[in-house]
């Protein structure tokens, strides 16, 4: 029983430490956008038309490779999002593979609030 309590305490401590050293994605996304990051909605144009985050540009993930020039150079700060997080994860990987160094996936649009 004492070992289980010790293990639990260590796990909680590691979790709290990890959370303290890495701000939540939402806060980091807000900070980056406030500092001028380009906010990119990687959903379809139809989804974008139904509603999007203020200031976002729409570049669907399937069009991203062909539209990289619209994002600026490799040092451009970019925050990507979608409906559930799957497409924004793909977009983040693609952008990093193309040499963009300052990319953050917010995941789902609902993570903004």
Residue 56 belongs to a domain: yes
Residue 105 belongs to a domain: yes
Which of 82, 95, 103, 106 does the annotation list as catalytic? 82
Number of domain units in the chain: 1
Residue 4 belongs to a domain: no
Let me know: does 43 contact 82? Beta carbons within 8 Å: yes
Residue 58 belongs to a domain: yes
pLDDT along the chain (113 residues), means of 10: 46 40 82 98 98 98 97 96 97 98 97 93
Residue 6 belongs to a domain: no
pTM value is 0.79
Q: Check which CATH number belongs to the domain holding 58 and give it.
A: 3.40.250.10
Does the annotation mark 82 as catalytic?
Answer: yes
Domain range for 93:
24-112
Question: Strand order in 38-41's β-sheet?
Answer: 57-58, 38-41, 77-82, 102-108
Rounded alpha-carbon distances, angstroms, from residue 37 to 33, 43, 81, 103? 4, 18, 13, 9
pLDDT of the residue at 108: 97
């Amino acid at each position: 029983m004492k070992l289980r309590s010790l293990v639990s305490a260590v796990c909680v401590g590691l979790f709290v430490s990890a959370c303290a050293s890495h701000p939540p994605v939402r806060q980091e996304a807000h900070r980056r956008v406030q500092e001028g990051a380009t906010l990119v909605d990687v959903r379809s144009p139809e989804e974008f038309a139904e509603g999007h985050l203020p200031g976002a540009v729409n570049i669907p993930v399937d069009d991203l490779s062909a539209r990289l020039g619209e994002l600026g150079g490799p040092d451009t700060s970019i925050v990507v999002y979608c409906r559930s997080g799957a497409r924004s994860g793909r977009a983040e990987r693609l952008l990093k593979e193309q040499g963009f160094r300052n990319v953050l996936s917010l995941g789902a649009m609902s993570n903004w609030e």
